[in-house]
Amino acid sequence: MEPKVIYLSPSTQENNLGIDDYGTEEYRMNRIADIVERLLNETGRYIVYRNNPNDSLSSVVAESNRLRPDIHVAIHSNAGDGSARGPEIFANRQGTSGDKLANAIYNEILKIYPEPQLARGVKYTDVLYEIINTLAPSTLLEIAFHDNKEDANWIMQNEEEIARAIVNGINEYFA
């Protein structure tokens, strides 16, 4: 069986600070992407490419489109007014391969998120640049809110489990 090609795109938002010891969104999401990449490579079923955190979003999308991966997975943490919580994930349209990918990853994140009643769902967008301009089926995961103490602590304390959930969702997508 030919390996599937995955493009991981952790946040490039180096100025988006989380609460307390969280660090930046870019730093934290790249830590999780490091684990996702390692876990995917360990399966021997995937070829994994990854964005350069110093690149612009348009450069990231152009690189993904040039590489023509089977899927494109953007990994982010969210921010709001400090009170919002929960994971959410974006795809471009309902009923597409990107929607299938989003649902597969989201369902795995829900299994480990401590308060699933706060989950914000799978959402569809025609404005998120990375989703609408990437040729491969794509999704943008907002793991939880980095400006909320409970969510930020959960992300920091569960990087391995979050990465494993993302990988489980990718595996489910290709199953």
What pLDDT tens digit does each residue of the chain (175 aa) get?
799 999 999 999 999 999 999 999 999 999 999 999 999 999 999 999 999 999 999 999 999 999 999 999 999 999 999 999 999 999 999 999 999 999 999 999 999 999 999 999 999 999 999 999 999 999 999 999 999 999 999 999 999 999 999 999 999 999 9
Q: Distance between CA 52 and CA 35 in Å, rounded?
A: 16
CA 18 distance to own-chain centroid: 17
SS3 109: helix
Domain ranges of the chain: 4-174
Confidence (pLDDT) at 44? 94
Q: What CATH class does 4-174 carry?
A: alpha beta
Q: Distance between CA 102 and CA 123 in Å, rounded?
A: 9
Confidence (pLDDT) at 21? 95
Question: Which two structure tokens, joined as six digits, stand for 4?
Answer: 């599937």
Question: Which two structure tokens, joined as six digits, stand for 119?
Answer: 């989950």
Helix %, strand %, coil % of the chain (to 5): 45, 20, 30
- Whether residue 28 contacts residue 12, with contact meaning beta carbons closer than 8 Å, is answered with no
pTM: 0.97
SS3 54: coil
Confidence (pLDDT) at 1? 76
Q: Distance between CA 112 and CA 77 in Å, rounded?
A: 16
Q: Distance between CA 50 and CA 9 in Å, rounded?
A: 6
Confidence (pLDDT) at 27? 97
Q: What are phi and psi of 57, to 5 degrees?
A: -60, -40
